[in-house]
Amino acid sequence: MTTTYRPGQPIWCSGCGHYGVQGALKYALTALNISACDTMILSGIGCSGTMQNNLGTYGYHTMHGRVLPTATGTALANPDLTVIAAGGDGDGYAIGAGHFVHALKRNPSLVYIVMNNGTYGLTKGQDSPTKNGPKWAPAEEGFDAMMLGLSIASSSFLARGFSGDPKQLNSLMVKALEHARSGKGLALLEVMSPCVTYNDTYPEWDAMTRDVKTQDSYDSNDKATAFATCIRMKQSGQIPTGIIYQGEHPTLESAMVNPKLNKMSKLVKNNSGCQGELDAILNGYRI
Amino acid sequence: MNKYSTDVKSVVKKDNTPLACDDITVVTAGQGGDGSVTVITLLAWALAQRGLHLFSANDIASRIKGGHAAAALRSSRNYRGCLGDNVDILVAFDGEAIEKNGQYLGAESVVIYDTSRGPLPKKFIPDTTRIIEIPFSRFSVRELRRDLFKNCLGFGVLARVMGLSDEEAHASIRHRFKRLTAENIKPNIQALELGFEFAAGHKILTKEEAQSDHGLYKLPHLEREDRIMISGNDATAFGFLAAGGRFFAGYPITPATDIMNWLEKRLPAFGGVVIQGEDELAAINMAIGAALSGAKAMTASSGPGIALMQESVGHCGSAEIPLVIVDCQRAGPSTGMPTKLEQNDLGMLTQGSNGDFPHIVLSPGSPQECFDYGVLATNLSQAAQCPVYIALDGLCQFTYTIPAFDLGDVKIDNGKRLTDEQLAKMSEYQRYAITEDGISPFAVPGQPGGMNLVTGNERNPWGLVSTDPVNRVAMMDKRARKIESVKHQLPIGYIWGDDNAKVGVICMGMIGDVLTEASERLAEKNIAVRCHRPRTLWPILDDTIEFVRECERVYVVECNDSGQLARLIKGAGAPADKIESILQYDGLFMRPGSLVNAILEKEKAL
Ligand SMILES: Cc1ncc(C[n+]2csc(CCOP(=O)(O)OP(=O)(O)O)c2C)c(N)n1
Ligand code: SF4
Ligand SMILES: [Mg+2]
């Protein structure tokens, strides 16, 4: 047996919501019996961007905001991997917001976990895009990723959990992994994950979070009613959680990757397998 | 009497011997969509069949239809990789074409002018120019009901002027439109023959000259070699593919988009993927994600896009991620002149991004080198696990005839990529193991027992973040050693000219072939020069410094405003007092004649 790195210890402040997220991920990886060597966890930059160190899998610490395009590249290059992208709300919804929209549009089969704490933890507490009434622009409303996700036609899995509700979170994490691993597309799981040091919202969010299942005739397969219900819940001061939407839509890799031909991640030593095709290209240039 | 001859004005040629011609440049110009490029393509094929060397450059505004567009073709007995000083034949579809290209016409040049859009603006051309005025467009519409066919019509006239045979012209049309049905090729052939008729009815050509295989020029018939005609962009993309490159992510930008288009057409058949990102940040990071999973990956862009990618390039250098990045340099700063050429990103390519990190910048000077460095960059990125730039300039868009690539010669280097068996035999696996050559064994996700952490933060050999000062120094030194370890693979400068000359000239990329021609002409004026074209721009290699040391004085010729290459060479230790810059930054092609003049002026001023 080859010895590999010893998984790191979390570096978060005690009580940080991110512990709950890591716990749920660990739970789900174990519950689904996913081997560490087939798992690639890619993280953003932030306090949230350290989870990849702690679980013994392949891990990659991307640049701030770039976790989604990187994870997309990984998923395309080797669709057999379980690809998990994880980052903060600043990482995903501010500097990485452009990628966020396009990843939902493309629908690659991977899990994207966003740890939403309404703040930039690592840089010491500046307001993040999800904060209502940030300091510099008090009139600004916080960004809601579920609402955005619902508005994108090709989104296929939108869920929200809360670090303070591990039972629900564990189950959402399992479902998200199942969605991506069965090749159904991007599983977005936003976790309300309080920053106890700069924005301690535990009590507030404990009171506000409410599973959409509790709403009359909620249909998580129907974007229109999901949208309407979530707006109404927000208007009455609630944060909708649970499976906000789960449906079917063709994935990025289904259109782009030919599983029979794709050996991209395999070690290829020479062109013996494709000499004829290369010759044909050269022929096209003969004059 | 030809039925169209009344419409045709002409200047009578002075004597009737056809001009023996070993080197002839034809330019076609008009509005985008006029078919300038088609005429050149038709001509290129016909001349290639005669065994002539070809060089072609298009100058096209970024829009498809509209905007001024020109295409130039130089054909010669000897290889020439640039435009000459003069245009011998100008086929102009409008007055603007004359206005823009008139300055390049020589005393004996011929202008074939489409009068459909107005009279020829004579003030832009020399008095001695031989003029053939024909309303191509009007005739094309009148006879063939489509403006579109005026390009074949123009080609017909051109073929007669250049002394091609009917069979040569026909064969070229058949070849160009080989995918069309016989029915659809017909109007093109009709247009060609109309062109023949116009030429025959035109007083500029005598009855004899206006026959098949006659004309104003007499071009040689040479022995045909096994050649291809290819652009720098295509050759670079081809090299990447041949080296096992399978993942490409990009974002449209002139003049790099060709590479994305080329690979998009071909990679899927090889099990590869081409994806267009939402911006250059997405493009390069998608490529990084693929590279980390073991795919050989590349992105390509031009100045503004490469600027956006800078953080990621430094990250690859730090995190030790193999990646190929092509920069098709264009005139900056900022959006600059998107369709004009320059060699102006050297600062960004060599010193861009934050911090010190290992990387390599290759600078090809011909399509053969584009192909070779497409292969080499892919191999080096794997061998040294770092970003490798290919710095292209105008040569990305120029097309050249060259001997066909030897595909059997391509070697694939996987560097220290571990097989599952190798990995299983290791007692421990560290992604950033400190090694003598600085290169650490590389396991990719999916390999049992290879679990590792990749990060752009400073880290210990296990990949865990560390700011320990001893570790920091060890890691920086390890990464720097990688370049030393692959240095023997980096292409040294190409040297030519007079070994004994005191005057040295240094240039890069597309200027190499301009300098070749300039140095031949200087030799005729008894000015001997030695020439050097560095082919690795980062790091600058010792032979370049040595070259400067050996010369009494050195002119560094480049297309930018501040002497970026000269600065690099000086910075690498070449004696600064020996170096003088010759710069061009007007966005135009550098011509051998203007380079000769620039060197002569400098020499006179001594
Ligand atoms: C390009 C770039 N800009 C800024 C930073 C500094 N930075 C590091 S983390 C961070 C914000 C992190 O916030 P979030 O993503 O919400 O993660 P959290 O720490 O709250 O978990 C910033 C701005 C950086 N690393 N890179
Ligand atoms: S600063 Fe906030 S987000 Fe960061 S570890 Fe501490 S509690 Fe968590
Ligand atoms: Mg945050």
| Two domains, one topology: B229-409 and B494-604 | yes
Our mutation pick for probing the ligand 1 site, out of A43, A45, A131, counting the most ligand atoms within 8 A of Cβ, is A45
- The pLDDT tens digits for B168-184 are 999 999 999 999 999 99
Report the amino acid identity of residue A142.
Answer: G
Q: Are B587 and B340 in contact (CB under 8 A)?
A: yes
Spacing, Cα B343 to ligand 2 middle (Å): 47
Q: How many CA atoms lie less than 13 Å away from A249 in the CB half-sphere?
A: 22
Q: What SS3 state is found at A243? A: strand
Instruction: Give CA–CA dist A40/A157, Å, rounded.
Output: 20
Question: Taking CB atoms and a 6 Å cutoff, what residues make up the pocket around ligand 2?
Answer: A 12-13, 16, 18, 47, 117, 121, 195-198
Our mutation pick for probing the ligand 2 site, out of A9, A11, A14, A18, counting the most ligand atoms within 8 A of Cβ, is A18
Sheet (strand B297-301) strand order: B273-276, B247-250, B297-301, B323-328, B387-392, B360-362, B536-538
Same-domain pairing of A217 and A242: yes
ipTM score:
0.98
CB contact under 8 A, A4 and B428: yes
Instruction: Give CA–CA dist B401/B390, Å, rounded.
Output: 21
* Mean pLDDT rounded to a whole number for chain B: 93
Closest-CA residue, ligand 2 atom 4, reads A121
B200/A contact by beta carbon, under 8 A: no
Is residue B17 very low, low, confident or very high in pLDDT (cuts 50, 70, 90)? low
Residue A9 lies in a domain: no
Quick one: pLDDT at residue B6? 27
Of ligand 2's listed atoms, the one at least distance from the Cα of A18 is: 8
Which residues does chain A have within 8 Å of residue B407's beta carbon, measured at their own beta carbons? Answer: 271, 275, 278-279, 282
Whether pLDDT at B23 is above 50: yes
Is residue B4 very low, low, confident or very high in pLDDT (cuts 50, 70, 90)? very low
Same-domain pairing of A176 and A246: yes
Spacing, Cα A140 to ligand 2 middle (Å): 24
- The pLDDT tens digits for B67-112 are 788 999 999 999 999 999 999 999 999 999 999 999 999 888 999 9
Question: Which residues make beta-bridge pairs with B70?
Answer: B29, B59
Quick one: pLDDT at residue B61? 57
Percentage above 90 pLDDT, chain B: 86
* B270, B284, B316, best to mutate vs chain A, most A CBs in 10 Å: B270
- CATH fold for the domain made of B5-225: Pyruvate-ferredoxin Oxidoreductase; domain 3 (3.40.920)
Give the sign of the dihedral formed by CA B289, CA B290, CA B296, CA B301: negative
**Alpha-carbon dihedral B65, B66, B67, B69, rounded to 10 degrees:** 60
Is residue B206 very low, low, confident or very high in pLDDT (cuts 50, 70, 90)? confident
On whether the B494-604 domain is CATH 1.10.3720.10, my answer is no
Is residue B3 very low, low, confident or very high in pLDDT (cuts 50, 70, 90)? very low
Residues 6+ apart with CB under 8 A from B557: B505, B506, B507, B511, B514, B515, B581, B582, B583, B590, B595, B598
* A62, A83, A112, A279, best to mutate vs chain B, most B CBs in 10 Å: A62
Quick one: pLDDT at residue A115? 98
C-alpha dist (Å) from residue B274 to A254, B202, B220: 14, 52, 44
Which residues does chain B have within 8 Å of residue A8's beta carbon, measured at their own beta carbons? Answer: 464
Q: Are A223 and A229 in contact (CB under 8 A)?
A: no
> Does the C-beta of A17 come closer than 6 Å to ligand 1?
no
- The pLDDT tens digits for A42-72 are 999 999 999 999 999 999 999 999 999 999 9
- Name the phi and psi angles at B212, rounded to 5: -55, 140
Q: Which B positions 316-355 lie with beta carbon below 8 A of chain A? A: 319
Of ligand 1's listed atoms, the one at least distance from the Cα of B311 is: 1
Same-domain pairing of A286 and A193: no
Of ligand 2's listed atoms, the one at least distance from the Cα of A88 is: 3
Same-domain pairing of A234 and A269: no
Domain boundaries, chain B: 5-225, 229-409, 421-472, 494-604
Average pLDDT, integer, range A199-206: 97
* Parent domain of A186: 18-251
Same-domain pairing of A185 and A264: no
Same-domain pairing of A262 and A226: no
* Mean pLDDT rounded to a whole number for chain A: 97
Number of folded domains that form chain A: 2
Average pLDDT, integer, range B541-545: 98
B429/A contact by beta carbon, under 8 A: yes
Same-domain pairing of A192 and A244: yes
- The pLDDT tens digits for A94-140 are 999 999 999 999 999 999 999 999 999 999 999 999 999 999 899 99
Our mutation pick for probing the ligand 1 site, out of A115, A123, A126, counting the most ligand atoms within 8 A of Cβ, is A123
Q: Could you say which of 3.90.1150.10, 3.40.50.970, 3.30.9.10, 3.20.20.80 is the CATH number of the domain covering B229-409?
A: 3.40.50.970
